[in-house]
Every structure is written in C-alpha cells, then in structure tokens.
C-alpha cells in the first residue's frame, strides 16, 4: 500500500467556476448532442493523512464547468484497506476497494494507493495533483462520447427504477451501464488514526455502485435495481444519481449523465 504526501497545487487553467452539479439536470430524451461530462473518480480514505488535499480538490472541481464546456462530475469512493490502522471510514466499502484493484491491474500498477484520481477510466494520477487533473481534462475534450441520458428515476421500497436511453454507440462493442448513488456533501469528525481530531468534508460520496445493464446498441429501457445502500444515506440530504457507460474490463468511460434525486 502506497501513500502520497501533499503536492504543490497550481490552478488548472482549464477550470471555470460556474454551475454547481445540482443544476446539471438530464437533458430531453431526444437531444442530439451528448452531454459533455467528464467523470472524475477519487479513491480516498478518512484514515489517510494524504487524502484531505485530494478531497478538497474534488470539492473544488465537482459540478464545475471547464473553459471547453465540460461538466466535471465527481465520485468519491472510500476504500477499506486503511480501516485496520485505527479508524474505520464510515463511507468505506469493499465495492470501491475492488473497483480500485481492477483499475490497478488495468493500468499495470504495482499496488493500489490513496489518494488516486481516475479520469473517464483512462488516466490515473495522485489525487491531489491539480496540474495533472487539468491536463487529463484537456485530453478528454476530443474524446468521442455516446449519448447517455437518465430519463427518470423512482425510489420505492428499497428499489430504484432507472429509465435511461443510450444512442450513438460504437459498432460491435458492448458497454456496461454503471449506476451510483452519491451524497452531495458529507462531514465526518475523525476520532483516531492519521486524521484523528480533524473534521473532514467530502463531496459526491458514493453510497452504492453497481453495473445495472450491458448494452450492445441503441437502448431505451427501464431497469429495476435493488438499492440496499439507500437506507444508509442521510434522509433529507441532497443526493445525485450518476449513470455512466464503461467499456468492458473497466475500460474507458464513454458517456455519463447525472441528476439530483430525492429519497
């Protein structure tokens, strides 16, 4: 397990502070232009003293728009392997640890580490490095995207019915549709471990993440998903449902949409 200390931040010139994510409502079903969303995953832990700067960076860019018109959508995924070192992260889950393990294998890394950012499933780097984040966002400007839309979502009795549409898919290449429910904001008072005595603030905290479908062509469908993690979220708080299309083998993320939800 590797850790990283705080790096010097530089202002990413490509970022402009404009619309917060709660304003990023899904567009009409038949909109011709795919939403220009860049998904930024942050693998982090409250037990890691190097992670708060990365949490702050994600807080800085999440829901903001770049000069190129990209909407940055973050997902904070709290891993479990720091839990044995004095503090059990209340947001951690083996789901996110396993997802990070798969990225480590795909990127050919010797081991996992925190904090780590992964941009659109294609580039990874130390999660507090704002300069590298800026470069990664710039690299995504010309990447082709599919048109993925959340048309509606309805929570009922621990389940969620997600109606989505996807079009402009590449030929003969299946895509996994992954859904995650996030808490927009979470604050935690850490008692022990490397961050003992600190109050930490997180954004876009993943509370559940699962592959809900595999598609091979244009799709307009509703998927009913058991969502056990809904009960673990703070009722009355703000949440988002994020849907993204990812190539097999946890490869490139080629489309995404996000919408506020009320539990």
Task: Give the mean model confidence (pLDDT) for residues 122-134.
Answer: 98
Q: Is the pLDDT of residue 14 over 70?
A: no
- Is the per-residue pLDDT at 16 higher than 90? no
Residues 73-97 have a mean pLDDT of 96
Q: What is the mean pLDDT of residues 61-73?
A: 95
Report whether 117 contacts 53 (CB < 8 A). Answer: no
d(CA 246, CA 168): 14
User: Rounded to whole angstroms, what are the CA distances from 212 to 61, 132, 208, 227, 234?
Assistant: 27, 31, 12, 11, 23
Average pLDDT over residues 105-126: 97
Whether the pLDDT of residue 15 is over 80: the answer is no
57 versus 86: the higher-pLDDT residue is 57
Question: Taking residues 28-37, what's their average pLDDT?
Answer: 63
Look at residue 172 in the predicted model and tell me its pLDDT: 74
pLDDT at 30 over 70: no
pLDDT at 11 over 60: no
More confident residue, 250 or 33: 250
SS3 238: coil
Is omega for the bond preceding 115 within 30 degrees of 0, making it cis?
Answer: yes
The token pair at 173 is 């290449």
**Average pLDDT of the chain?**
86
Report the range of poorest mean pLDDT among 126-130, 159-163, 231-235: 231-235
CA distance 46 to 88: 8
Q: Give the per-residue pLDDT at 135.
A: 97
**32-261 domain in CATH 2.60.40.10?**
no
The predicted pLDDT at position 235 comes to 55
- Percentage of residues in the chain having pLDDT higher than 70: 83
pLDDT of 173 reads: 85
Provide the whole-model pTM. Answer: 0.87
Lowest mean pLDDT of 65-74, 116-125, 166-175, name the range: 166-175
Tens of pLDDT, residues 206-217: 999 999 999 999
Residue 192, sorted as left (phi over 0), alpha (psi -120 to 50) or beta, turns out to be beta
Confidence grade of residue 21 (pLDDT, cut at 50, 70, 90): very low
Which tokens is 144 given?
């082709």
Which of the pair, 73 or 171, is modelled with greater confidence?
A: 73
Q: What is the DSSP letter of 262?
A: -
121 pLDDT exceeds 60? yes
Q: Which of 215, 203, 220, 168 is nearest to 33 (CA)?
A: 168
Model confidence at 25, pLDDT cuts 50, 70, 90, reads: very low
User: Which residues sit opposite 226 in a β-bridge?
Assistant: 159
């Amino acid at each position: 397990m590797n850790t990283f200390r705080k790096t010097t931040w530089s202002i990413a010139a490509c970022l402009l502070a404009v619309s917060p994510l709660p304003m990023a409502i899904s567009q009409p079903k038949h909109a011709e232009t795919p939403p220009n969303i860049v998904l930024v995953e942050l693998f982090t832990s409250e037990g890691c003293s190097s992670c708060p700067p990365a949490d702050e960076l994600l807080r800085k860019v999440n829901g903001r728009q770049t000069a190129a018109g990209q909407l940055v959508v973050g997902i904070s995924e709290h891993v479990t392997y720091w839990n044995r070192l004095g503090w059990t992260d209340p947001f951690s889950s083996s789901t996110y640890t396993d997802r990070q393990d798969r990225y480590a294998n795909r990127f050919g890394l010797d081991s996992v580490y925190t904090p780590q950012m992964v941009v659109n499933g294609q580039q990874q780097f130390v999660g507090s490095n704002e300069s590298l984040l800026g470069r990664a966002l710039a690299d995504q400007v010309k990447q082709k995207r599919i048109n993925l839309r959340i048309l509606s979502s309805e929570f009922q009795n621990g389940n969620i019915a997600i109606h989505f549409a996807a079009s402009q898919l590449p030929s003969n290449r299946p895509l996994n549709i992954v859904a995650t429910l996030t808490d927009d904001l979470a604050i935690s008072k850490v008692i022990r471990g490397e961050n003992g005595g600190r109050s930490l603030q997180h954004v876009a905290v993943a509370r559940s993440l699962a592959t809900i479908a595999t598609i091979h062509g244009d799709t307009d469908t509703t998927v009913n998903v058991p969502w056990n993690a809904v009960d673990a979220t703070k009722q009355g708080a703000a949440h988002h449902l994020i849907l993204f299309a990812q190539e097999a083998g946890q490869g490139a993320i080629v489309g995404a949409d996000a919408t506020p939800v009320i539990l």
